[in-house]
Amino acid sequence: MLRPPLRRLSFHHIVAALLALFLLAGPTLAFNVPLTDESVREAYFLGQRRDDSMAKYLAQYKKTLPVPKTGPQIASIEFLTPFAQLVLRSSRRANYSAQQATQEHRRDKETVAVNIQVQLTDSYGSFTSIQPANSDSATRYKLRPPDFWKDINVAVEQNNQVLEATDLSGEPTYICADDGGGCVLTGATIRLEFPAELFTSDSADIHVSPPEGPEVTVTFNLTSLR
């Protein structure tokens, strides 16, 4: 019985087939998600170092910014992938084992954390003025509320689409006198959490808009992060 001759696939046929497979596979993530047990162990041991090599590695997940002429300072913005969060968790835990790290990771859902450090400045300090009832009255001042960070708008964007955070929280920061003379508000830390699978692009833009001063935008190249 004669068999039909084999057809040679052209270059265009091969490209079309690979493209179809890529589309069927769905969106891919720019960083490692989900993490394998091996990746979890690598993050654990990197965090256990607690040395300059760990700090140097984590530096790529953080961008620092200068003091503006007016308004609060958006001092730093962190984009922490699941791998980076595991490194930090390991570095902060005593009597912590690789087995514990793996078990906890299997239990928890993988997220991305965006941390924004805000510092008060000379133009946007711990006191805020109260507008007088009339021009003859003296200007009065009051303490800035500790939840002032709620007036700061944060948007995390990919492909011109704003992503919805599953959690948003903030915590004021203070400096306190050693002699018990009280504490002064110095800023706040804002934290947002997102499902890790939302980040399917090569980059992410983070926009921070304070009530006074310029808007800040930073871009993280997610292909360089793990």
87 has pLDDT over 60: yes
Determine the pLDDT at residue 28.
Answer: 55
The two three-digit tokens of residue 107, written as one number: 């239990």
Determine the pLDDT at residue 32.
Answer: 83
Q: For 146-162, what is the mean pLDDT?
A: 97
pLDDT tens, residue by residue, 210-219: 999 999 999 9
Give the sheet arrangement for strand 73-80, strand by strand. Answer: 62-64, 73-80, 111-119, 183-195, 167-176
pTM of the full predicted structure?
A: 0.83
pLDDT tens, residue by residue, 103-149: 999 999 999 999 999 999 999 999 998 877 666 667 788 999 999 99
Q: For 99-105, what is the mean pLDDT?
A: 96
DSSP assignments along 80-114, one per residue: E-HHHHHHHHHHH-SS--HHHHHHHHHHSPPEEEE
- The helix/strand/coil state of 170 is strand
